């Protein structure tokens, strides 16, 4: 397996396919790099070098007690980018991975980065506050914590249904997709996954978004039951300078799977454009 070791001694797994301009993918919670396989195989065949890592405490990376926070996630990403000496990079982040991409850009700058894509991403802030009335109440995230701690095996199976919109009229549930979601989630470590809930729900990425000075594409489904578009994609598009917002009508949170061909075509067009 391809890995790097971070400055605090943590082993981070990554996959690195193809040749050409690099495209780096950051996955959502509680998943791993495999969540991007459909995009990586497609863009790799189009002549791009595609890379995705498993965030610490997720997938095949080390399960850590400490460091399961967005500052460290961004630093881990920087360590990978520097180890592979990636330049003219396109960064793509889904959900929590979108927060990771935004925080990397805010914390480490855009010197190595050409473009960014936020897909169903959590920025600027998921939590409902006085200044963010469109967010979700803390009770929602406390419920996620409780479900993950009490019986994450069942919770992840249940979560896959709204994640992919399988609870909507006319939707056809894919047991294979749900099994893949469950497997990816169960590969990670419980402590790190619990810690990560705070990072995707209560961290405010507004200042990171203001620092992004590269072309940015924001893609979000307007039927996202996990990260509602109004408090996320639409707000981010207002904050990031010259961002482009593309709304997928009726699309769920897991649109990289349910709308794979559409997303692949949009990514290719944006990277080439």
Residue ranges covered by each domain of the chain = 3-272
Is 95 among the residues known to form the active site? yes
Among candidate residues 57, 95, 120, 201, the one labeled active-site is 95
pLDDT at 236: 98
Residue 230 main-chain phi, psi, to 5 deg: -65, -40
Among candidate residues 75, 120, 224, 236, the one labeled active-site is 224
Contact 106, 214 (CB under 8 A): no
Domain 3-272 listed as CATH 3.40.50.1820: yes
Is 224 among the residues known to form the active site? yes
ω before 62 within 30° of 0 (cis)?
no
Helices 138-163 and 190-201 cross at an angle (nearest 10°) of 110
% helix, strand, coil for the chain, step of 5: 45, 15, 40
Among candidate residues 94, 220, 253, 259, the one labeled active-site is 253
On average, the pLDDT of the chain sits at: 98
Kind and range of the H or E element at 70? helix 70-83
Return d(Cα 210, Cα 124) in angstroms, integer. Answer: 10
Residue-wise pLDDT for 141-181, tens only, equals 999 999 999 999 999 999 999 999 999 999 999 999 999 99
Residue-wise pLDDT for 99-144, tens only, equals 999 999 999 999 999 999 999 999 999 999 999 999 999 999 999 9
Return d(Cα 250, Cα 167) in angstroms, integer. Answer: 12
Is 103 among the residues known to form the active site? no
pLDDT at 61: 98
What distances in angstroms separate CA 268 from CA 111, 186, 246, 264, one per listed residue? 22, 31, 14, 6
Band (pLDDT 50/70/90 cuts) for residue 95 is very high
Return d(Cα 236, Cα 159) in angstroms, integer. Answer: 25
Return d(Cα 10, Cα 56) in angstroms, integer. Answer: 8
């Amino acid at each position: 397996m391809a890995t790097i070791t971070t400055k605090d001694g943590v082993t981070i797994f990554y996959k690195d396919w193809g040749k050409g301009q690099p495209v780096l993918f950051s996955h959502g919670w509680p998943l791993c790099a495999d969540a991007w396989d459909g995009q990586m195989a497609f863009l790799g065949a189009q002549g791009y070098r595609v890379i995705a890592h498993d965030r610490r405490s997720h997938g095949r990376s080390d399960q850590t007690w400490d460091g399961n926070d967005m500052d460290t996630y961004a630093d881990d990403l920087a360590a990978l980018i520097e180890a592979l000496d990636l330049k003219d990079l396109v960064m793509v982040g889904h959900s929590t991975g979108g927060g990771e991409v935004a925080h990397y850009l805010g914390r480490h700058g855009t010197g190595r980065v050409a473009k960014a894509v936020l897909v169903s991403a959590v920025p600027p802030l998921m939590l409902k506050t006085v200044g963010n009335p469109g967010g979700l109440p803390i009770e929602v995230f406390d419920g996620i914590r409780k479900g993950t701690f009490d019986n994450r095996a069942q919770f992840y199976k249940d979560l896959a249904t709204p994640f992919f919109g399988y609870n909507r009229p006319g939707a056809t549930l894919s047991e294979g997709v749900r099994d893949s979601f469950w497997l990816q989630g169960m590969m990670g470590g419980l402590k790190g996954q619990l810690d990560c809930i705070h990072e995707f729900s209560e961290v405010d990425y507004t200042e990171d978004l203001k620092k992004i000075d590269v072309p940015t594409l924001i893609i979000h489904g307007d039927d996202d039951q996990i990260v509602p578009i109004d408090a996320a994609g639409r707000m981010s598009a207002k904050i990031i300078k010259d961002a482009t917002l593309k709304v997928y009508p009726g699309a769920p949170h897991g649109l990289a799977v349910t709308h794979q061909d559409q997303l692949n075509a949009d990514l290719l067009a944006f990277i080439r454009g």
